[in-house]
Amino acid sequence: MTKRNNSILLNLVLCIIPFLNLNAKLKYEKLWDKNNDYYCFFKDTLEDNHLWINQKHTLNEIISATNHILNDTFTQKSQILKSEIYNEMGNRLTEYECNYPFFLNGYWYFKTYPKNKKHPLYTRKKINSKKEEIVLDCNSILDTNATNNVVNMFISPNNELLIYHTDTTIRGIYFLKIRNIKTQAELNESIFPTNGTVAWAQDNKTFFYGTSDYKTGRANYIWKHKIGESFLGAEIIFEEKDTSFQTKVYSGKSQNFIYILSRSETSTEFRYILSSKANEPFKVIQLRKKNMIYYVQEHNNNFFILTNKNYQNFELMWAPIGAGEVDQWKPYLKYHLDTLIKSFQVFQNYIVLEKKIQGLSAINIISLKDSVSSYIKFSEPTYSISIDSNYDYQGEHFTYMYTSLKTPNRLISHNMKSHLNRMINERKIAGKFNQDEYETERIWMKASDGALIPISLVYKKSLKKSTGNPTLLCGFGNYGETISPNFSSNRLSLLDRGWIYAIAHTRGGNDLGEFWHDEGRLLKKKNVFNDFISCGQGLIAAGYSNPKHLYAMSSGYGGILAGAVINMRPELWRGVIVRSPVVDVIHTMLNPKTLTSKIIYEEWGNPKDEIAYRNILSYSPYHNVKESKYPNILINYSQGLNNIQLQETFKWAVKIKESQSQINSKSQIYLITSNSNDKNIRPYLGEDLHNDAIEFSFLQNSFEHDD
């Protein structure tokens, strides 16, 4: 048995990286290891005149070292506009919100936000009972810091104990705590760090939980603990040694199975045990295979399996429990070429599938009794849906969330037997909001290679499109993800000022299937940038915008998108917003401190390979800054992210500012830092007043002051 205390010591050891010779030209083949056991033999010597920023390790140090360069500040008028927009957005928020209850093991569970309280209150009622009891009052255990939050609550099978996690780091590293629901007493058992995954065994004493590598954040261990025993004696059940994989533990919907999932970007592997036999070893369903993903849910004596084994867009299969490996799996549904199956949920009598058909979300319900298939109909041209957790395995209802660019979030209950929908709750918007005053569209633009790219749009109906309006075009296009066409009450402050908001569903996401992702990753990554540029040009050609009124925005790894299109077509954009960007791509990917580098390699390529290295270098935003007139740029860095991202954000900003100074450009380069600690906003609303007010005032000010 491997003991937890030994692993904790290993987990907290920090690697010390020697400082570089900052006066010399940087040779990446000698970038990281003083013992020279890593080389990159590509005969490149890349000049980097800003490595001195890498010597600064705190936000204050970096600001102090760069403020003589990054000295652009908002005008007083912009500050007034920011306050005006901030107040507008705050006035739309309601004082009280209630989440629709969910049913679990004989109880209805409720999540409410009491008036004048920052955090939610969780309560429950036994079925057919009016008596309500407190499960957890988050306001009694958390302070008013918006980054403090309770996540991932797990009720024991006998309904007596609660495991919950508190997050104070915004890095996905949690404290695990245990509470007696009846007495509200905390058990004298707490553990840090954990990663938020838990599964209870049927004995109500044993549970499994996950931890992550403290340095990289990669989820790599699954542990077993029994209440009453020391956490230092917890047993490691599984270690994920492959650094391109992460792992998690969770309970199946029927509560009869416990699963361990190991997942990379291109492969999965499942292990399972019966929750009534917690001391037995986990069994592997199918060993991991390169480029094969599968997901499992139990149903009676069978597993239903969603996999890309035969088809890139996934198919639903089944196999008897314990049947063995993939050659014994059998198809359950006919495969359709234009349909991506994103996820599935298995109930006692039904299967619910979330699909993408021609880029639009769909929900398909199949009866397990007679195989009758039905779809829920949606009328708007662009929208977003997500199926809720739905813990009631025996139930005939499931809930899903519906929203669009003009429709606030709606929680809807669907009866799988009668096929009737019932709206449970709709987010309320204070003030004079009327969604009928807004128009949504889904249009297509042709990319430079002929591919058709979908765009989601929203604007006020009173807008005159032919005049070329200020337009904010957003994109992401990485890891098979995209920006969903969700509602935002904050965004109304732009729309009501005559703006068009657009989302480019570029390749690199999975809007049109997994091939759409593959067409925007690795050596095809530049398709993402060309698609985004084509969408911007298309919006101008179609009269939605004009060359003086087009703006762009992206964040995180999507920041590579914004940085790349600034370098490729600086004249196309009037202004660009980038949130917490990754922009010094070569530096980041060759840095051993970078979170889960191997996972990143599967999306962008491994720079140790020369072909991949040169492809990445050709679009890396930092390495391709040039002395051309750039648009106004607002870079918004969120505090709490890793130092590597902090350093490269400032390096990029300094390099752009210096390039503009060289040609006497009047373009404004703003870099602001935010800690997302807005004490006047509740995190559950998903609205960020502080950052949105800054960014929207930047956009409006740029629009009102065209050169």
Rounded to the nearest angstrom, the gap between the alpha carbon of residue 379 and the centroid of all alpha carbons in its chain is 27
Total Cβ atoms within 10 A of residue 64: 11
pLDDT number for residue 642:
56
pLDDT number for residue 597:
59
Q: Report DSSP letters for 315-335, one per residue.
A: EEEEEETT--SGGG-EE-S--
Residue 552 contacts residue 562 (beta carbons within 8 Å): yes
Residue 337 contacts residue 356 (beta carbons within 8 Å): no
Q: Is 273 exposed, middle or buried (0-12, 13-18, 19+ CB in 10 A)?
A: buried
Q: Report DSSP letters for 27-79, one per residue.
A: -GGGSS-TT------S---B--TTGGGGG--SHHHHHHHHTTTS-----HHHH
Beta bridge partners of 398: 414
Long-range contact set of residues 322-329: C-beta below 8 Å, sequence gap at least 24: 322/283, 325/285, 325/286, 325/287, 326/286, 326/289, 326/292, 326/294, 329/305
CA distance 56 to 117: 39
Report helix, strand or coil for 472: strand
CA distance 273 to 284: 9
The residues spanned by each domain of the chain are 28-90+432-704, 95-138, 141-291, 293-331, 338-428
Closest CA to 576 of 699, 704, 671: 699
Residue 250 contacts residue 263 (beta carbons within 8 Å): no
pLDDT number for residue 95:
59
Residue 295 contacts residue 305 (beta carbons within 8 Å): yes
pLDDT number for residue 171:
64
Q: Are strands 471-474 and 500-504 parallel, antiparallel or unpaired?
A: parallel
pLDDT number for residue 76:
79
pLDDT number for residue 132:
92
Quick one: three-class SS letters along 190-256? EEEEECCCEEECCCCCEEEEEEECCCCCCEEEEEEEECCCCHHHCEEEEECCCCCCEEEEEECCCCC
Quick one: three-class SS letters along 543-605? CCCCCCCEEEEEEHHHHHHHHHHHHHCHHHCCEEEEECCCCCHHHHHCCCCCCCHHHHHHHHC
CA distance 322 to 149: 40
pLDDT number for residue 403:
96
Instruction: For 237, list phi and psi in degrees, rounded to 5.
Output: -90, -35
Type of residue found at 119: H
Total Cβ atoms within 10 A of residue 127: 9
CA distance 437 to 457: 14
**Domain topology for 141-291:** Methylamine Dehydrogenase; Chain H (2.130.10)
Report residue 497 as tokens.
Answer: 């000022």
Total Cβ atoms within 10 A of residue 208: 27
CA distances, 10 to each of 3, 294, 363, 647 (Å):
12, 32, 46, 27
Q: Which residue ranges in the chain fall short of pLDDT 70?
A: 1-41, 45, 56-57, 95-100, 143-148, 168-171, 465-467, 591-598, 639-644, 675-687, 706-707
CA distance 319 to 71: 63
Q: pTM of the full predicted structure?
A: 0.86
The CATH architecture assigned to 28-90+432-704 reads: 3-Layer(aba) Sandwich (3.40)
pLDDT number for residue 17:
22
* b/e code 611-621 from CB counts within 10 Å (16+ = b): ebbebbbebbb
pLDDT number for residue 16:
21
Look up tokens 């996999």; give the residue: 307
* Element (DSSP H or E) covering residue 615: helix 610-619
Q: Report DSSP letters for 393-443, one per residue.
A: TT-SEEEEEEE-SSS--EEEEEETTT--EEEEEE----SS--GGGEEEEEE
pLDDT number for residue 639:
64
Closest CA to 286 of 300, 271, 266: 271
Residues 525-550 have pLDDT tens digits of 999 999 999 999 999 999 999 889 99
pLDDT number for residue 13:
25
pLDDT number for residue 706:
63
